[in-house]
Chain A
Amino acid sequence: MEKLKPRDEADCLEIVKWAVADKKPLEIVSGGTKRGYGRPVEAAALADVSGLSGISLYEPEELVMTARPGTPLAEIEKTLHANNQELAFEPADYSKIYGKRGGSATLGGILAGNISGPRRIKAGAARDHFLGLRAVSGRGEIFKAGGRVVKNVTGYDLCKILCGSWGTLAILTEVTVKVLPAGQRILTVIVSGLSDSDATNAMAAAMGSSFEVSGAAYIPADVSIKSATDGAIAAIRVEGTGPSVSYRAAGLAEMLKPAGDCRIEKTGDSRAFWRSVRDAEFFTEHRDRPLWRVSVAPMSGPDVVATLRGQADIRAVYDWAGGLVWIEFSSEAGDDAGAGIVRDAVRPHGGHATLVRADDGVRRKTDIFHPQDAALAGVTSRLKDGFDPERILNPGRMYRTV
């Protein structure tokens, strides 16, 4: 397979034009940390865009940064950190669940996958911070969308549709994101010994309070966790300035005391814990086991898990106050990696399930992203036609025919 490494936007344009003309499907890769996410791409050539790197504009007072998509996340975070700022959606690095060393994720990859961490429940997802872009579409044309200001409704919001399109519509060549002041202090309220549904209720109470919770996760007792030895824990995070954080953590502990044993964990330990939640580090040990990412209404999380526990040997971790459930099957999940029972369990709740990890054979045969009904699938397919009619950009990564 041909491997190409464009240096700039002009190179990307050349590559796409060639691919269109010669009908050569391309797999687009940046840091390569998430190649296991989605259906295997059957491509004639691989385009590695990690060469399009570097921050081109950063104005802390305007809360805005423009960078090329191959810029390593580490570089971005370091630059922001120097100004006490951050990407508020808390981008995750899933490398380890695929057995790779972390640290090579890029901004473009994060945006292409719309990957957001625990703070999503407060600050929004990657897509909510994506302000503007330049890209090469599958038509071999350079286009731009959005802008560099936070408030902008000029034309369709193409940032949104490219965010989470997994490179199937266009190759990003420049992105502008909103940046925000970082919380100076973190405290985590830990409630121990709760069942799945009690934990979800506790997290809902915390989220429904005025304590500005920025993370709410539940780790059941059967999931091993380095920093805690006390069985099941529900963890509620608050961030911000000193006195405010102490006040809010104390308020939460007081509020949740009737639910179970409460303690408050300090900044240092908290950071490590939330990093492991963000990167789904609980599921890095058995890489042969299918891993699902289920998105449902927060209160539905325990129901989905209970249904599945009745049918299979699974381990689950809840993030987003119950709205994001990571579900790992033991090895005997069957030919479809549990797709049938997972989607049956999700259906009554109206969310969706994505198969994040499975071997290539399974991923080729199984719907990785949630199957769409005819009307919706029609829209998806026509959108693909609009950007990439020849199906040369990451073909099949999301859906077989898209």
Chain B
Amino acid sequence: MNSAPEQAVSLDQHSALEMPELDVDILGRRNEIIRDLRALVPGEGVISETSEMRVYESDGLTAYRQLPFVVVLPETVEQVSAVLRYCHKTGLKVVPRGAGTSLSGGALPLGDGVLLGLAKFNRILDIDYANRTATVQPGVTNLAITKAVEGRGFYYAPDPSSQIACTIGGNVAENSGGVHCLKYGLTTNNILGLQLVLITGEIINIGGKHLDSDGYDLLGLLTGSEGLLGVITEVTVRILREPETARAMIIGFPSSEDAGACVGSIIGAGIIAGGMEMMDRPAIHAADEFAQAGYPLDVEALLIVELDGPEAEVTDLIGRVEEIADANNASNVQVSQNEPERQKFWAGRKAAFPAIGRISPDYYCMDGTIPRHQLPKVLARMRELSEKYGLGVANVFHAGDGNLHPLIMYDSNVPGELEAAEDFGADILRLCVEVGGVLTGEHGVGVEKRDLMPEMFSETDLDHQQRVKCAFDADGLLNPGKVFPTLHRCAELGRIHIHGGKIPFPDIPRF
């Protein structure tokens, strides 16, 4: 009835990626485990047929694929708790999954692990306008929160491009950003409470509707922990009142360098725009073709600058930004005249990634952040790399906060192109770190950037992070193979390497 274990674990992933060794004992007990799981999650909640599981073999990063051991789709917190308790007892690995839109392979399944999908948790539980909070289940999409409160003039600020589909649970796990981060923050700055199920099945509540945490800031720690510490079953977010006016400007430039310099001048003038986005020529063309956003097609770089606040302030700021743009060689400026037009300006940007699908069968989306003034250097080096690898690249850039999204275009049906794209991507990220930036601004490390972590962190740095993992999941059952290049045993990490008897620091001042 159930597929044979051999079939179920047939590796389909890219060869360069090493995942934790398969647990042969678990593989041998597949039928028994599936039976046990079915007792915990009835109906269609346990998926074990190969033909069906294949649909779950990857998330938004299709370069990596792996058939899961089994897929479980619980509907209640009690079921999540029971499944995790069972996994803990059985030594079964667990990969949590939201909408499967990760661009870093955060939800890449394991051949010997449960893929735990939370998409059935899609209810909004409470909207509290007086305290300005919404409490929702983790499978509610990012956009659905705003949709639920917009009738009363409120919204949820972080808005990743995939907001139509990505879930709030996934946003918390990855600490998702969006185009309005510079002014309104990332996910971590916009959530107030979480309910979390530990691998032991214990349910803990962190925060609530109040503003600051008691004890260690677990809310901050869990945000962006990529499913390695626990499974989120409820999220309380802060909702904000919509600004009185919001207007977007699109500004074309003859070069990316000019656009970059313009961004620096805007911030230098003390203007924190609601959003500040940059696209280069290929991205402009692909996005405009889908969204008919009215972008100028004869420019090398495009800035979208959104200003929000009271009407008078916005009008004043638009004037100042126009002046700054002129001083930075802008070739044309358009200002949205009404809300539909503003939405239209953004529609192109928000669809920019998948719209690349129109000009290339596959793309590989990178996510480094750099100090903004390094942009010209990074772009120039990227052009060299593009030539070296023979692959095109389109750039979408959260210019306000230095978060760069190069989209490397390749064709997975052409042998060798995926590998070249990966090497190209790794070179770009090394470059980001080299100029003082980081590997990932908002997509998470996942499997994609896992092996690049040592570019940024020493062994000791990573050990300090892994001990956090030990505090939550000492057996390393939750989403292993992600974030850390090697997962050390907690017992090993717990050892202290200092011995007594040394004469203490004769030359440190005492008083």
Which stretch in B69-77, B84-92, B196-204, B293-301 binds the other chain?
B196-204
Asked whether A152 lies within 8 Å of B129 as measured between CB atoms, the reply is no
- B464 CB–A CB distance under 8 Å: yes
B380: chain A residues within 8 A (beta carbon): none
> Is residue A32 contacting chain B, with contact meaning CB distance below 8 A?
no
A357 CB–B CB distance under 8 Å: no
* Contact status B502-A120, CB under 8 Å: no
Query: What bracket does the count of chain B residues touching chain A fall in?
Result: 35 or more
Contact of A230 with B by CB under 8 A: no
Known: A11-B505, A375-B203, A375-B204. A153 touches B224 (CB 8 A): yes
Q: Is the CB of A127 within 8 A of B312?
A: no
> Could you tell me the distance in whole angstroms from the C-beta of B233 to the nearest C-beta in chain A?
14
| Residues in chain A near residue B502, CB distance under 8 A | 17-18, 21
> How far is it, in angstroms, between the C-alpha of A169 and the C-alpha of B216 when the chains are bound?
10
Residues on the A chain within 8 Å of B16, using CB: none
> Chain B, 468-511, contact with A by CB distance < 8 Å: what is the 0/1 string?
11111000000000010000000001101111111011001111
A300 to B209, CA, bound (A): 10
Given A120-B211, A352-B214: A385 and B465 within 8 A (CB)? no
Residues of B within 8 A of A380 (CB): 215-216
- By beta carbon, the residue of chain A nearest B311 is A247
Assess A208 versus B441: contact at CB under 8 Å? Given A148-B371, A241-B313, A244-B310. Answer: no
Among A114, A154, A181, point to the contact of B438 (Cβ < 8 A).
A154
Q: Mark B119-142, 1 if CB is under 8 A from A, else 0.
A: 000000000111111000000000
Min CB gap B489→A, angstroms: 14
Among candidates B465, B496, B510, residue contacting A3 with C-beta atoms closer than 8 Å:
B510
Given A14-B508, A156-B225, A241-B316, A297 and B188 touching (CB < 8 A)?
no
Q: Is B44 an interface residue (CB 8 A)?
A: no
B-facing residues in A140-155 (Cβ within 8 Å)? 140-145, 147-155
Q: Are B468 and A350 in contact (CB under 8 A)?
A: no
A212 contacts B by Cβ under 8 Å: yes
- Majority DSSP secondary structure for residues of B touching A: loop
- Is A128 at the interface (CB under 8 A from chain B)? yes
B129 and chain A: residue at smallest CB distance: A208
B467 at the interface (CB under 8 A from A): yes
B267 and A61 form a contact (CB under 8 A): yes
Interface residues of A in 48-99 (CB under 8 A from B): 48, 51, 59-64, 84
Option from A18, A23, A181 in Cβ contact (under 8 Å) with B272: A181
**Which residues on the B side are within 8 Å of A21 (C-beta)?**
498-502
A residues 143-197 near B (Cβ < 8 Å) are 143-145, 147-161, 163-165, 169, 180-181
Contact of A260 with B by CB under 8 A:
no
Complex contacts, B174 vs chain A, CB 8 Å: 153
How many A residues have CB within 8 A of the partner chain? 106
Question: Is chain A's interface secondary structure helix, strand, loop, or mixed overall?
Answer: mixed
Q: Which residue of A lies closest to B223 (CB)?
A: A157
Q: A123 CB to closest chain B CB, in angstroms?
A: 9
Check if B456 sits within 8 Å of A154, measured CB to CB.
yes
In the assembled complex, the Cα of A133 lies from the Cα of B477 at a distance in Å of 29
Query: Are B220's CB and A61's CB within 8 A?
Result: no
Kindly state whether residue A354 has any CB partner on chain B within 8 Å: yes
In the bound complex, CA of A243 to CA of B444 (Å): 41
A350 near B208 with CB under 8 A, answer yes
| Min distance, Cβ A333 to any Cβ of chain B, angstroms | 21
Contacts of B472 in A (CB 8 A): 379, 382
Distance A193 CA – B135 CA, assembled complex (angstroms): 34
Contact flags B209-221 to A (C-beta < 8 A → 1, else 0): 1111111111111
Q: A152-B441, A156-B465, A243-B313 are in contact. Are A124 and B241 (CB under 8 A)?
A: no
Please tell me if B398 contacts chain A, counting CB pairs below 8 Å.
Answer: yes
What sequence of 0s and 1s flags, for each residue 229-241 of chain A, a beta carbon within 8 Å of any chain B beta carbon? 0000000000011
Is B189 positioned at the interface, with any CB of A under 8 Å from its CB? Answer: yes
Verify if A256 is at the interface (C-beta below 8 Å from B).
Answer: no
Contact B462 A155 (CB under 8 A): yes
User: Among A120, A148, A151, A212, which residue has its beta carbon within 8 angstroms of that of B401?
Assistant: A151
What B residues does A110 contact at CB under 8 A? none
Q: Are A156 and B224 in touch, CB under 8 angstroms?
A: yes
Q: How far is the CB of B312 from chain A (nearest CB, A)?
A: 5
B263 to chain A, nearest CB (A): 9
Chain A residues near B469 (CB, 8 Å)? 156
- Contact mask B452-465 → A, CB, 8 Å, 1/0? 01001110111111
Q: Which residues of A contact B (CB under 8 A)?
A: 2-7, 11, 14-15, 17-18, 20-23, 48, 51, 59-64, 84, 114, 116, 120-121, 124-125, 127-128, 137, 139-145, 147-161, 163-165, 169, 180-181, 201, 204, 207-212, 240-241, 243-244, 247-248, 251, 295-300, 320, 323-324, 350-352, 354, 369-370, 372-373, 375-376, 379-380, 382-383, 385-387, 389-390, 398-399
23 contacts between A and B (CB under 8 A): A21-B501, A59-B373, A114-B213, A120-B211, A125-B211, A125-B212, A145-B461, A145-B464, A148-B436, A149-B402, A150-B402, A151-B442, A153-B175, A153-B442, A154-B439, A155-B456, A157-B221, A164-B212, A210-B310, A241-B316, A244-B313, A295-B212, A350-B210
Q: Which residues of B contact A (CB under 8 A)?
A: 128-133, 153-154, 174-175, 177, 181-182, 185-186, 188-189, 198, 202-204, 206, 208-221, 223-225, 241-244, 264, 267-268, 270-272, 309-310, 312-313, 316, 369-373, 398, 401-403, 436-445, 449, 453, 456-458, 460-465, 467-472, 483, 493-494, 496-502, 504-505, 508-511
